[in-house]
Amino acid sequence: MSALPEDIVEALLDVEQATRSLSDAALQSEPDSIHVAIDERGEAVERLRASIEAARAALDEEARSELSAWSEDIGVQTEKAETALRAVLETTRGALQELAKGMRAAKAYQESAEESRLNRST
């Protein structure tokens, strides 16, 4: 039996689930899923914050200790999700840099071809 009020436990479970979903979406590099998971996690964290604020004065030492343990577990999950998101960011950054490099090369070729065409027509 938890020392925490039911609404806080439910909110903690929601944050855990949303954090796992975010981590999974990042590991799969699914942009749409990442976007949805970020929004869902933000909403879950906000519900948790509101539940804790509403009950803070009534939480005894046992409940505060339990909340602290939950927070540590969620913190570990959050670090894993952040690591996965950083990996997606680095992959995306590399792909964008390669795209930019290709676009610069195509533009240089186009300008060179245009210059050659103009030189031939004069």
The SS3 assignment for 122 reads coil
> What percent of the chain has a predicted confidence (pLDDT) above 70?
99
Does residue 118 fall inside a structural domain?
no
Does residue 81 fall inside a structural domain?
yes
How far apart are alpha carbons 53 and 45 in whole angstroms?
12
Minimum mean pLDDT range among 8-12, 37-41, 64-68, 87-91: 87-91
Query: The domain containing residue 60 runs over which residues?
Result: 6-97
- 120 phi/psi in degrees, rounded to 5: -70, -30
How far apart are alpha carbons 99 and 115 in whole angstroms?
24
Task: Return the pLDDT at 122.
Answer: 66
pLDDT (tens digit per residue) in 43-102: 999 999 999 999 989 999 999 999 999 999 999 999 999 999 999 889 888 888 999 999
Q: Is the pTM higher than 0.85?
A: no
CB-facing half-sphere around the CA of 16: CA atoms within 13 A: 13
Residue 121 has pLDDT above 80, yes or no: no
Does residue 26 fall inside a structural domain?
yes
Task: Return the pLDDT at 13.
Answer: 96
Does residue 56 fall inside a structural domain?
yes
Task: Give the chain's domain count.
Answer: 1
